[in-house]
């Protein structure tokens, strides 16, 4: 029997809504450790393979740095939509 549990949290941040960084910070504060956050953040940054950085990407970069999180994606696109280009 496993003695350790890992909390898995999935997020979707729609591209048309603003992100309240306080909400993201509260999420990390409330998640039991260890945890993994998976999701579609609709942000662009070279840290995860984008050619450019947008505001959402900068917000996610700051979130990752503030909480000493690790990015585990391999930089490949998971989905490409012509309209939003994510």
In tens, the pLDDT along 25-39 reads 999 999 999 999 999
Instruction: List all residues 6 or more positions away from 62 whose beta carbon is below 8 Å from its beta carbon.
Output: 21
Six token digits for residue 62:
């700051």
In tens, the pLDDT along 37-77 reads 999 999 999 988 888 999 999 999 999 999 999 998 877 76
Give Dmax (Cα) for the chain: 47
The answer, as to whether pTM is greater than 0.75, is yes
């Amino acid at each position: 029997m496993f003695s350790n549990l890992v909390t898995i949290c999935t997020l979707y941040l729609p591209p048309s809504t603003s992100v309240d960084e306080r909400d993201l910070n509260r999420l990390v504060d409330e998640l039991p450790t260890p945890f993994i956050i998976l999701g579609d953040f609709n942000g662009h940054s070279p840290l995860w393979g984008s050619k450019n950085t947008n505001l959402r990407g900068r917000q996610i970069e700051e979130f990752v740095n503030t909480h000493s999180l690790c990015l585990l994606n391999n930089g490949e696109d998971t989905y490409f939509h012509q309209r939003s280009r994510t």
